[in-house]
Chains A and B, each alone.
Chain A
Amino acid sequence: MRIPRLAWPLLALAALMSFNLFFTDGFFHIEIRDGRLFGSLIDVLDRAAPVMLVAIGMTLVIATAGVDLSVGAVMAVSGAVAACVIARPEYSVLSGVPGGGSAAIAILLALGVAGCIGAANGVLVSAAGVQPIVATLIFMVAGRGIAQLLTDGQVVEFRSAAMATLGNGFFLGLPVGVSVVAGALLAVGALTRGTALGLFVAAIGANARASRHAGVPAGVIKVVVYTVCGLLAGIAGVLVSADINAADANSTGLYVELDAILAVVLGGTALTGGRFSLIGSMIGAVLIQSVTTTILSRGVAVEYTLIVKAGIIVVVCLLQSPRFRRGAGGLVRRRSP
């Protein structure tokens, strides 16, 4: 019997949710206030939004048999750029508005920088032929330094109505962050499933040489994929900064690359590339955040979150490992002749 790829992450999520249904009071309680949805589940989605955004791009990168370690640093850079353009007079030359820039220009610049870093990663990987893990290591190391340099190592606070809406506003009853994720997911989903792009991406990851002989423009597609990944990380950085009305180059996006890679792997996309599932990655990201929220809402100390996370990683990895399944299958067969 072939088990559908989404079965394991969905099963894990369902197990966690049914635990909450019975043991955590009011976890599924959702109320509508002023046409807006409130509740733990909405909270999970809202908090998972940055990792979900990054995981969309990471899924594509991993599908090409690559990996992008720089996304956390890119988030820090993009948050720093946006905050500096809005709050620092010396950067207002860039925004064209004297004394405090407009949020729209700040976000555009932030995303521009993030996209450029992504494109640079892509060029290093495809044109220079550098291993993805090494190529993106460069900006993982340097990126946070650049962000610190932009902000002089301080937390840059800003006030902007548009950014406040982005961080804490609602759109169609849902937090804006969740809507942004939905929009990005729809756009990337349409691009990869509606056109041949998705097929090309998976082909490069499954067999780079065969896809090159088949005429797939691997170089161009890799640059595009890494650029999209950088852009999405940039959006996540702006969202995180908008949420706290400040940019903190030290903590913005710390360890996000690891959470995003974990979400992608939990969602059933193999690190070796090939077929990928955007929905699976989203389930993975929600699963990670649900664990954290469940632990918090049960009053268990935060430090246990990490240990539980470690356990989940081991269990899900084992379940997805062909060798483990063969071994476990053998045990089952031997017991029931």
Chain B
Amino acid sequence: MMERLLRVHGPIIATVAVAVVLYVLAGVLYDGFFSLRVFAGFFGDNAFLGIAAIGMTFVIISGGIDLSVGAVVGCSSILIATLVEVGEWHPLTALLVALVFGVSLGVTMGALIHAFDLPPFIVTLGGMFFARGLGFVIHQEPIALRHPFFSDLYELPARVAEPLGVLLPAPAVILLVMLAVGLYLGRWTRIGRAVYAVGGDEDSARLMGVPVGRTKIAVYGFSGLCSALAGGVYTLYTFSGNASAGTMLELDAIAAAVIGGTLLSGGVGSVLGTMLGVLIFGIIQTAIVFDGSLSSWWTRIVIGGLLLAFILIQRLLQTSLAGRGR
């Protein structure tokens, strides 16, 4: 019983421990780190990474990978900005168009992967080139947003919650909503269980009557939706649209998922773990800003080191427990 608990939850316990240690360490080292505003910033400043990572988590759990995430963020960001500033559309309509684009691209990729048994790595690489190219075709230069809707929306949650003393910017609120959606989908829905089943063993899942094809296509469609929404949040966060936004974001999203205990071989993982991974990203970035003397490249090196540590812990847990079980 204990061993099973450790095998299933071992990686996530390690993630929680690392997050707490990093947070306490940074809090002791730097004045003012323990404030609520800083904590809200972990989520607010990484909201688009977090939202994209939620979609990525489901793709990885299903045994696939989605390299198009960062490019879709850039494409959706420039699409929204162009429609609003050049086409004079309402931002919400523009967002809807971007979401439809994200879902369509995801569904197309999922259908190709399933129907022709193509490797997800290569198909989503094609999707990445397509979305990045399309973004630059739509508009090459970054566009600054002057539409009042964006600043109103950004400050809305803060104004509503003012009396309560909570300061959450809109991107963080959207992230939390998506987190709730992701948790619900993964834990309590038929499609969520199907994703785990397909990722665990595709052939068994098929024999048990799980609709493998529909599940896979849905997963890539959901990831496209998350990435397009992340592009919208990026636009809201920076008040600008940029076709080169989200460069290498897929890498950070995969790293956040792996640190959060999601196995790249599929079948194991959770959105909550991924959110812890994003939190660790936020803590490291903020600590480096607080320090002032460390260069921001340390973020990547620390994340690389954490990846190594987590992967070795996961291997160790798997092999030692498998050995004892025999």
Rounded to whole angstroms, the CA-CA distance of A134 and B11 in the bound complex is: 15
Inter-chain contact A306/B136, CB cutoff 8 Å: yes
Inter-chain contact B311/A141, CB cutoff 8 Å: no
Stretch from B23-31, B117-125, B207-215, B230-238 forming part of the interface with A: B117-125
Pick from A128, A141, A307, A322: contact of B117, CB below 8 A. Answer: A322
Inter-chain contact A321/B117, CB cutoff 8 Å: yes
Inter-chain contact A137/B301, CB cutoff 8 Å: no
Residues of B within 8 A of A321 (CB): 116-118
Inter-chain contact A307/B122, CB cutoff 8 Å: no
- Given A142-B304, A149-B295, do A129 and B127 touch, yes or no (CB 8 Å)? no
Residues of B within 8 A of A322 (CB): 117
Residues of A within 8 A of B295 (CB): 148-149, 152-153
Rounded to whole angstroms, the CA-CA distance of A262 and B65 in the bound complex is: 16
Question: In the assembled complex, how far is the CB of residue B248 from the closest CB belonging to chain A, in whole angstroms?
Answer: 8
The 0/1 profile, CB within 8 Å of B marked 1, for residues 129-153 of chain A is 1110111011111111110110011
Residue B185 interfacial (CB < 8 Å): no
Question: In the assembled complex, how far is the CB of residue B135 from the closest CB belonging to chain A, in whole angstroms?
Answer: 8
User: Could you name 25 residue pairs across A and B whose Cβ atoms are closer than 8 Å?
Assistant: A130-B315, A137-B251, A137-B255, A138-B304, A138-B311, A141-B251, A142-B305, A144-B300, A145-B299, A146-B297, A146-B301, A258-B125, A262-B122, A262-B125, A271-B119, A303-B133, A303-B136, A303-B140, A307-B137, A313-B129, A314-B126, A317-B123, A321-B117, A323-B115, A323-B116
The 0/1 profile, CB within 8 Å of A marked 1, for residues 163-189 of chain B is 000000000000000000000000000
Residue A192 interfacial (CB < 8 Å): no
Residues of A within 8 A of B151 (CB): none
Inter-chain contact A314/B125, CB cutoff 8 Å: no
Inter-chain contact B264/A131, CB cutoff 8 Å: yes
Most chain B beta-carbon contacts within 10 A, residue among A139, A143, A309: A309
Residue A203 interfacial (CB < 8 Å): no
The 0/1 profile, CB within 8 Å of A marked 1, for residues 130-172 of chain B is 1011101100100000000000000000000000000000000
Residue A305 interfacial (CB < 8 Å): yes
Residue B258 interfacial (CB < 8 Å): yes
Residue A332 interfacial (CB < 8 Å): no
Residues of B within 8 A of A131 (CB): 264-265
Residues of A within 8 A of B305 (CB): 142
Further 20 A-B residue pairs, CB within 8 A, beyond A301-B137, A314-B112: A129-B315, A130-B315, A137-B251, A140-B251, A144-B297, A145-B301, A149-B298, A265-B122, A271-B121, A272-B119, A303-B136, A303-B137, A305-B133, A307-B129, A309-B126, A314-B126, A317-B112, A317-B126, A318-B116, A318-B118
Inter-chain contact A137/B258, CB cutoff 8 Å: yes
- Given A137-B255, A141-B300, A265-B122, do A310 and B311 touch, yes or no (CB 8 Å)? no
Inter-chain contact B311/A134, CB cutoff 8 Å: yes
Residue B49 interfacial (CB < 8 Å): no
Rounded to whole angstroms, the CA-CA distance of A324 and B111 in the bound complex is: 13
Residue B312 interfacial (CB < 8 Å): yes
Residue B219 interfacial (CB < 8 Å): no
Pick from A261, A307, A310: contact of B121, CB below 8 A. Answer: A261
Residue B97 interfacial (CB < 8 Å): no
Residues of B within 8 A of A134 (CB): 258, 264, 307, 311
Residue A304 interfacial (CB < 8 Å): yes
Inter-chain contact A261/B303, CB cutoff 8 Å: no
Chain B interface residues (CB < 8 Å from chain A): 65, 67, 112, 115-119, 121-123, 125-130, 132-134, 136-137, 140, 251, 254-255, 258, 264-265, 295, 297-301, 303-305, 307-308, 311-312, 315, 319
Inter-chain contact B297/A145, CB cutoff 8 Å: yes
Question: In the assembled complex, how far is the CB of residue B299 from the closest CB belonging to chain A, in whole angstroms?
Answer: 7
Residues of A within 8 A of B264 (CB): 131, 133-134
Inter-chain contact A310/B126, CB cutoff 8 Å: yes
Inter-chain contact B254/A137, CB cutoff 8 Å: yes
The closest CB in chain A to the CB of B118 belongs to A317
Residues of A within 8 A of B265 (CB): 131
Rounded to whole angstroms, the CA-CA distance of A128 and B308 in the bound complex is: 11
Question: In the assembled complex, how far is the CB of residue B165 from the closest CB belonging to chain A, in whole angstroms?
Answer: 37
Inter-chain contact A145/B133, CB cutoff 8 Å: no
Question: In the assembled complex, how far is the CB of residue B298 from the closest CB belonging to chain A, in whole angstroms?
Answer: 7
Inter-chain contact A310/B133, CB cutoff 8 Å: yes
Residues of A within 8 A of B126 (CB): 309-311, 313-314, 317
The closest CB in chain B to the CB of A316 belongs to B122
The closest CB in chain B to the CB of A317 belongs to B118
Inter-chain contact B117/A145, CB cutoff 8 Å: no
Rounded to whole angstroms, the CA-CA distance of A323 and B130 in the bound complex is: 24
Residues of A within 8 A of B258 (CB): 134, 137
Residues of A within 8 A of B319 (CB): 129
Rounded to whole angstroms, the CA-CA distance of A262 and B67 in the bound complex is: 13
The 0/1 profile, CB within 8 Å of B marked 1, for residues 86-104 of chain A is 0000000000000000000
Rounded to whole angstroms, the CA-CA distance of A271 and B126 in the bound complex is: 15
Rounded to whole angstroms, the CA-CA distance of A139 and B130 in the bound complex is: 26
Pick from A135, A306, A313: contact of B132, CB below 8 A. Answer: A306
Question: In the assembled complex, how far is the CB of residue A70 from the closest CB belonging to chain B, in whole angstroms?
Answer: 10
Residues of A within 8 A of B298 (CB): 145, 149
Residues of B within 8 A of A310 (CB): 126-127, 129-130, 133
